[in-house]
């Protein structure tokens, strides 16, 4: 799920700041980290919402349509959680969009670096970040599709004449949707980890004195 995705890591420059391209790149790259701060803040609340919603779902399934009024009430509570998840995903997407915009400044600074070793690391860094942004966009769209299916499910539970076959077919769609989400989430986390490693290697190649 998006709620357990990895975040960028930051560093602290311990030397004197100067106008060199490497130091400009450092400042821009760390600004990218700060832009993703709201994204990081959404991780725990999103996970908690997923857990609460899952608990309600299990309660509904345990009732087995025996107490329709209780099921209707529980599904109403779940729909509120779904709405909250939607808002938090929107906040995540805005933070990533702000990060992507800020990364353009970093690319400009990275493009000015002349040292061959540092330039090679910078190129790898740029590629990984673009792959990371692309994978996040895929993940976000997949997660929002899964949320839409969850919303539809809880609306179905509010129908007294709900057929078991309809319910089972919809739950199968949800399971397939979240399987895709988990695969895309792993891909995004892998790119984030690779990017964080590549950033450290770039700082070393550029001989920037930073605390990792």
Based on the structure, what is the number of domains in the chain?
Answer: 1
The reported pLDDT for the residue numbered 190 is: 97
The predicted-structure confidence for 47-92, as pLDDT tens digits, reads as follows: 999 999 999 999 999 998 789 999 999 999 999 999 999 999 999 9
What is the rounded distance in angstroms from the CA atom of residue 91 to the CA atom of residue 102?
17
User: What does the pLDDT look like over 145-154, one tens digit per residue?
Assistant: 999 999 999 9
Residue 37 lies in a domain: yes
Cα 181 to chain centroid, rounded: 11
> Which ranges of the chain have pLDDT less than 70?
1-19, 210-212
CATH number of the domain where residue 95 is located: 1.20.120.570
The answer to whether residue 11 is domain-embedded is: no
**C-alpha distances out from residue 38 to 2, 22, 26, 91, Å:** 13, 27, 21, 7
| Domain span including residue 133 | 17-211
């Amino acid at each position: 799920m998006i709620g357990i995705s990895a975040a960028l890591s930051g560093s602290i420059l311990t030397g004197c700041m100067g106008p060199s391209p490497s130091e400009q790149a450092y400042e821009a790259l760390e600004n990218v980290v700060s832009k993703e701060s709201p994204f990081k803040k959404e991780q725990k609340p999103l996970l908690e919402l997923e857990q609460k919603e899952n608990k309600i779902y299990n309660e509904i399934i345990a009732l087995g349509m025996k107490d329709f009024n209780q099921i209707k009430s529980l599904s109403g509570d779940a729909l509120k959680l779904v709405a909250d998840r939607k808002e938090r995903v929107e906040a995540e997407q805005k933070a990533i969009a702000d990060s992507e915009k800020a990364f353009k400044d970093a690319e400009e600074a990275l493009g000015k670096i002349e040292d061959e070793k540092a330039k090679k690391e910078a190129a790898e860094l740029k590629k990984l970040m673009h792959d990371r942004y692309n994978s996040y966009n895929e993940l976000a769209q997949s997660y929002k599709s899964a949320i839409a299916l969850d919303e539809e499910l809880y609306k179905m539970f509010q129908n007294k004449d709900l057929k078991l076959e309809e319910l089972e077919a919809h739950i199968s769609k949800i399971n397939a949707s979240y399987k895709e989400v988990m695969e895309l989430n792993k891909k995004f986390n892998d790119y984030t980890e690779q990017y964080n490693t590549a950033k450290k290697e770039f700082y070393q190649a550029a001989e920037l004195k930073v605390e990792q």
